[in-house]
Amino acid sequence: MTGQTEPVLYRIDGRKIKSAKDFYREIGRAVNGRGGYFGRNLDALADCLRGGFGTPEDRPYMFEWQHSAVSRRRLADGPDASLIDDVLDVFSDAGVVLRLR
């Protein structure tokens, strides 16, 4: 029965993220499969984290941003340099765990 209470884990592949557009594509894929939607900006991401966009309604869920250091390096000098910190804030405000790996 413990399997029912274990959080669903969604993995974001940071090796595929070089821009905010890449991030939203990758998080959409992680939750809803290839071409899936899970926001296209921070406000939409916050809405998606509230539920009803592919995450389970009957059990907890969390995210793991794998290779986040690769993403951070690639984003560092561009217009999306603050993306990781901004996304962390949105997850924190929504009460959803996002682990950077």
* pLDDT at res. 1: 47
Question: Residue ranges per domain, the chain?
Answer: 2-100
* pLDDT > 80? residue 4: no
Query: Which pTM does this prediction carry?
Result: 0.92
Q: How many helices (H) and strands (E) does the chain have?
A: 4, 3
Hunting for tokens 């990758």 — which residue is that? 26
Sheet harboring 8-13: ordered strands across?
8-13, 61-66, 97-100
65-78 pLDDT, tens digit each: 999 999 999 999 99
> Which CATH superfamily is 2-100 part of?
Barstar-like (3.30.370.10)
* pLDDT > 60? residue 8: yes
User: Alpha-carbon distance 101 to 83, whole Å?
Assistant: 16
